Structure 1
Amino acid sequence: MKGVIWCAVLFCVVYATSAAPLNLHSDLTDILDILKNLGLIPSNDPASTSSPDNDLGSGYTSDTSQCGRQTATPSLSRIKKIIDGRPAVSHSWPWQVSIYDDDEHHCGGSIIDDTRILTAAHCFENRKQEDFYVVVGMHRISATNDNRIIMNISGIIIHSQYFNGDHDIAIIKLTESLNFSEQIQPICLPVSNQVPNADDSNCVVTGWGETRRNIAEEEPNIVSDVLLQANITILNDSFCNKYYENSLQTNSVFCGTARHGDTCQGDSGGPVQCPNADGSWYLAGVTSWGDYCGGEAPGVYTQVEYFLDWIDENI
């Protein structure tokens, strides 16, 4: 009530002392700003209402109050697949990055702290480190006026046991620390034994990968300009392995399907993000490989929880 009374008083003062015609919208805005600065009415600015415990700091943390959260609310309606999928809400997955090779989008990745990106090892096969850089804060590849930041790479750590799709995980080390913002935030790593359950359909994959895969190569493959997302359903190991003739090391990977679709080339290294009970998101998987984009065989994802010790050793 006190704020309302002060607002009325200030409005009368502004109106009485103004030499120019009253601009109702701008004057009320000025009055509200004054009242907020005086502490007479609450501010809607997240920065002014956040407590120190909820501030986004630098460095890796497993505390879900400081990771895996978005300012932009993602759309979580069920989407068939990234191939022909739905664009994500701009910056609703602020840990998603693009890894560029020779100035073109090549793979995805996830921010896990202020200097490290988790991605797939196969993204760097037969390539030179100096050809890569990381783009953070990007939503649309073709945009030139967004808040993207280009980050140089100081090192790429590929798992020593990576071979032919197994142990398909890598860490990129950035030359400089990231400044976290609404567009740039880290995702939580899973805690021990935190893995997605079979039949869970709440996990989401994201990426700028191909939206059409042309087997005959009569036409060029179509890469998405905007970040796309899709819900996937986690499959049990036995169901998944039947597609791949029991060739999977199921303790280090899991499979998912997006109803006749999945991730595709260019989505590799990107996140499989699953919700925590408190509304934050954790990095359950890294997009790895599959038999064919959009075919019947499910997509295969590196299970991040299995590699927690390896990640800790390289943080």
Structure 2
Amino acid sequence: MFLHFGILLLLSQGLLGEGDVSEAIDGDSRIIGGKDATPGMANYQVSIRDHTGYREWHSCGGSIINEEYVLTAAHCIFEKNIKDMSIVVGSHTINKGGDRYKIKKLIRHEKYSEPVLKNDIGVVQIEGKFKYNDKVQPIELLKEMAPIGKKCLFTGWGYDDLRDETVPNDLQMLEYVTISNDDCTKQLKRSPYPKLVPVDRPEQLCAKRPNHKGACYGDSGGPLVIQDEKNKTVQIGVVSWVVPCAKDFPDVFASVHGYYDWIQGKIK
């Protein structure tokens, strides 16, 4: 893990299928304060692994967006070597199961700015193609702007206890609610990181979660999803940064809507 200007970039060290989002959102909500994702949920979820020698660890989340590409945060792949990384899909557990793929290419946004965390979006191309099954499926991206006040769901394997630095083996899920960028900016101005505001770009999305619950180290790049008017699960955000960890501030995501054309241009 690392801190950048004191901001949590959510790196770690060593959801749902159709029709299931509403059920999970309305249920009780380790992501800090989360609960185990139901088996069969989040079949688009990706674990991005880093390895050195015989040691391997989950570093970031991501989502399957077609047979060859994963959507994630730019800082998850910034200055990384593809030989020291892999992609695992099709399992809710870190220690076993799933299918592993080597990486062919890392593509971060050309205008990604590490100091201010702008354009924090990227895609990963795997070698070969994903083998789709009931545990491995792509997620559709929302082309329109995400509605404000919409219940949404986040999934990941980030720390479930920051003090003890414990990492869950099982995929966690947590309910969020989207808020306006204006509201987000007002709240984050009183955070320890006012230099990262305003959050005023259409490429940024903010969401609020219950106090003392939220994304933490290892959750970067993970998918924020909603259920649209047709009851289809669609992705609206990619977790970028938070005030660490599970503090009383909104979490900031890269907006799928804001980067829709960029994403499509890179995966075609």
Q: Give the TM interval when normalised to the shorter protein.
A: 0.7 to 0.9
Match for residue 90 of structure 2 among 122, 137, 153: 137
C-alpha distance in structure 2 between counterparts of 1:289 and 1:176, whole Å: 31
Partner of 1:159: 109
Q: 2:235 aligns with which of 280, 283, 290?
A: 283
Is 1:257 equivalent to 2:201 in the alignment?
no
Structure-2 separation of matches of 1:169 and 1:300: 12
Distance 2:19 2:258 in 1: 29
Residue from 171, 180, 183 that aligns with 1:239: 183
Corresponding residue number in structure 1 for 2:13: none
Aligned residue number for residue 32 of structure 2: 83
CA RMSD of aligned residues (A): 1.9
Q: Distance in 1 between matches of 2:28 and 2:80?
A: 34
CA contact (8 A) 1:72 1:89 kept: no
The CA distance in 2 between the partners of 1:295 and 1:232, in whole Å, is: 14
1:246-272 CA-to-partner distances (Å, cap 9, x unmatched) read 432431111111111221111110100
Cα deviation, residue 275, structure 1 = 0.7
Which string of whole-angstrom CA distances, capped at 9 and with x for unpartnered residues, describes residues 92-146 of structure 1? 1100010001121010000000000000011123432211100010111123xx3
Q: What letter corresponds to residue 204 of structure 1 in structure 2?
A: L
Is 1:149 aligned to residue 93 of structure 2?
no
Decide whether the 8 Å contact of 2:182 with 2:199 is kept in 1: no
Structure 2 counterparts to residues 44-123 of structure 1, below 5 A:
69-70=17-18, 75-80=24-29, 82-102=31-51, 103-123=56-76
1:5-20 map, 5 Å: none
Kept after mapping to 1: 8 A contact 2:17/2:40: no
Q: Which secondary structure does the structure 2 equivalent of 1:127 belong to?
A: coil
Per-residue Cα deviation, 1:205-228 (whole angstroms, up to 9, x for no partner): 0001111112xxxx4x11111000
Against the structure 1 CA distance between its residues 72 and 257, is the aligned structure 2 distance closer, same or farther, given a 3 Å change threshold?
closer
Determine whether 1:213 maps to 2:162.
Answer: yes
Size of the aligned set, in residue pairs, is: 237
Distance in 2 between residues matched to 1:69 and 1:92, nearest whole Å: 5
Verify the 8 A CA contact 1:286 1:302 in the aligned structure 2.
yes
Structure 1 residues 75 and 277: alpha-carbon distance in aligned structure 2, compared to 1, 3 A threshold: same
TM-score normalised to structure 2 length = 0.83
Structure 1 residues 258 and 72: alpha-carbon distance in aligned structure 2, compared to 1, 3 A threshold:
closer
Larger CA Rg, structure 1 vs 2: 1
Tell whether 2:226 aligns with 1:226: no
Q: Per residue, is there more helix in 1 or in 2?
A: 1
| Higher strand content, 1 or 2 | 2
Query: In 2, are the aligned partners of 1:70 and 1:94 still within 8 Å (CA)?
Result: no
User: Structure 2 vs 1, CA of residues 274 and 72 (structure 1 numbering), >3 Å: closer, same or farther?
Assistant: closer
1:18-57 correspondence runs (5 A): none
1:302 deviation in Å?
0.4
Matched position secondary structure for 1:75: helix
Residue 183 of structure 2 aligns with an amino acid whose one-letter code is F
How much does 1:72 deviate?
7.5
Instruction: Between 111-120 and 159-168, report the one with greater CA deviation.
Output: 159-168
Q: Cα distance, 1:89 vs. partner?
A: 0.5
CA contact (8 A) 1:240 1:298 kept: yes
Counterpart code for 1:132: M
Query: Structure 1 residue 76: deviation in Å?
Result: 3.2
Aligned position for 1:299: 251
**Deviation readout 1:192-214 (Å, 9 max, x if unpaired):** xx22222212x100001111112
What is the Cα deviation at residue 80 of structure 1? 4.5
Mapped contact 2:30–2:159 kept (Cα < 8 A): no
Structure 1 position 91, deviation (Å):
2.6
Identity %: 28
> In the alignment, is the contact (CA less than 8 A) between 1:80 and 1:258 conserved in 2?
no
Q: Which has the higher contact order (CA 8 A, sep 6+)?
A: 2
Residue among 138, 143, 149 paired with 1:199: 149
| Stretches of structure 1 lacking an aligned partner (at least 5 in a row) | 1-67
